[in-house]
Structure 1
Amino acid sequence: MSYLELKREVYEANMELEKRNLVTYTFGNVSQIDRQKGIVAIKPSGVPYEDLTVDDIVIVDLQNNIVEGKLNPSSDTKTHTYLYRQWSDIGGVTHTHSTYATAWAQAQVAIPCLGTTQADYVYGEIPCAPVMTDARIAGDYEEETGAQIVDCFKERSPSESPMVIVAGHAPFTWGKDAAKSVYHAVLLEEIAKMAYLTKTLAPSIASLKQGLVDKHYLRKHGKNAYYGQQ
């Protein structure tokens, strides 16, 4: 893939966030990696979506050096590149401050699996990375945010929950490419909204029984999946 093609895909993924009402002003960024070239295309820092162009997209290497572009890359770039370095199977990362997912993050509560809608896409709860320690805040903050996320998946595959919320901060999602990571961001916001409303109506409701979680997740993602067109 050429630099221009990569930048265009990342531009279109970023604009999809605005189309889906998941960003306000500059509250978000999407990236995509070209693993053969070892480069990442990402939204520039602080550029409003209505002003964003394909040419504005910045290309960096996995050590966060600018390879192509006149603008500064997103301030969250080190989080994105950390995830790419740690998880070789992902190809795109999205970060938003969408309302409901961010509310759960600010409440510092993992999103429990309360229904089959969530179980269709996430195998169980959506984890919440803990509030960052003072030592990590004083360190390389954006890099440490990536480490906080990866720590949540020490005993779980990131493919089982292609989304996470970071306590006191906001959500991150990922996928095979930029477009898929945005798709998961859209799903996360809707799931977070449903979970909030469910907990409002029934605060003591328990998580969905494991048998239903297994059935709905595995029929889409399991070895013998049969959902959709094969």
Structure 2
Amino acid sequence: MSQYDHIQQSAYLANMQLPKLGLVLFTFGNVSAADRSLGMFAIKPSGVPYEDLSPAKMVIVDFDGKTVQGKLRPSSDTQTHAVLYKQWTNIGGIVHTHSVYATAWAQSLRSIPVFGTTHADHTTVDIPCAPPMRDEMISGNYEYETGFQIINELKDKGLSYEEIEMILVGNHAPFTWGKTPEKAVYNSAVLESIAQMALLTEQINANAPRLKAALIKKHFERKHGPDSYYGQ
């Protein structure tokens, strides 16, 4: 047994949820699982079909993005994951997909407005869309800079990564994160659903108003507030 078996297993199981949830096509996505005590994370190997994955094929990488264990090349998005793990010390899982609806909003360079209570159950703000990357960032270490593209957008919006666990990268696609890989996958599925609902809302009523503040507060706090009462 290896000291990395648990994060390889966790990353494998989380990655296998992406096709089951309809969040990926072919190999368009990845999940990583971190162990803070080891300073390492396990991530999907690049370009390997989901049906060919196994826990042992998950690549072990440190928070500087250097491969520590594994015969396969890690995901092309590994450097983005590494930056986020290094900068945000309270996350344990990251997901990147090109899910259809969330990606469509990212390609439209639009944040997703809070139209309804489903959105407010998970966050009180619009899902932010980071602006397109500057040319000098693109020509540099692209995946590394994508991490800072995400971080800087939250800073510019005055948001904490613990306050909102999802973002759209302009012209690209969504990233989500959480304390565990399972929560990051959950957030990815929720984001896709919210993105679809928002699109349909605007198609039905192009002038649909945002959810009023009292309902945003009520729905978020009943699940996440100090006096929350949702669930068992």
Normalising by the residue count of structure 1, what TM-score does the alignment of the two structures yield? 0.97
Matches within 5 A, 1:124-135: 124-135=125-136
The equivalent residue for 2:221 is 218
Instruction: Report the Cα distance in structure 1 between the residues aligned to 2:163 and 2:102, rounded to whole angstroms.
Output: 18
Give the secondary-structure state (helix, strand or coil) at the position aligned to 1:60.
strand
Does 2:47 align with 1:46? Answer: yes
Q: CA RMSD in A?
A: 1.1
Instruction: Report the Cα distance in structure 2 between the residues aligned to 1:226 and 1:84, rounded to whole angstroms.
Output: 31
Give the secondary-structure state (helix, strand or coil) at the position aligned to 2:56.
helix
How far 1:2 moved relative to its partner? Answer: 3.2
Does 2:185 align with 1:205? Answer: no
Instruction: Report the Cα distance in structure 1 between the residues aligned to 2:87 and 2:216, rounded to whole angstroms.
Output: 27
Instruction: Report the Cα distance in structure 2 between the residues aligned to 1:216 and 1:152, rounded to whole angstroms.
Output: 25
1:130-152 residue CA offsets vs partner (Å, 9 max, x unmatched): 00110111111111111011112
Matches within 5 A, 1:1-230: 2-154=3-155, 155-229=158-232
How far 1:159 moved relative to its partner? Answer: 2.2
Instruction: Report the Cα distance in structure 2 between the residues aligned to 1:185 and 1:101, rounded to whole angstroms.
Output: 9
How far 1:72 moved relative to its partner? Answer: 0.6
Give % identity.
54
Normalising by the residue count of structure 2, what TM-score does the alignment of the two structures yield? 0.96
How far 1:206 moved relative to its partner? Answer: 1.8
What number of residue pairs does the alignment pair up?
A: 229
Instruction: Report the Cα distance in structure 2 between the residues aligned to 1:206 and 1:80, rounded to whole angstroms.
Output: 35
Give the secondary-structure state (helix, strand or coil) at the position aligned to 1:217.
helix
How far 1:83 moved relative to its partner? Answer: 0.7
Deviates more, 1:9-18 or 1:50-59: 50-59
Instruction: Report the Cα distance in structure 1 between the residues aligned to 2:200 and 2:185, rounded to whole angstroms.
Output: 23
1:24-74 residue CA offsets vs partner (Å, 9 max, x unmatched): 111000001100000010000111111111111000111111111000110
Instruction: Report the Cα distance in structure 2 between the residues aligned to 1:143 and 1:207, rounded to whole angstroms.
Output: 35
Code of the residue aligned with 1:192 in structure 2: it is: A
Unaligned runs of 5+ in 2: none
Give the secondary-structure state (helix, strand or coil) at the position aligned to 1:152.
helix
| 8 A contact 2:154–2:161 mirrored in 1 | yes
How far 1:160 moved relative to its partner? Answer: 2.2
1:75-111 residue CA offsets vs partner (Å, 9 max, x unmatched): 1011111111111111100000000000000001000
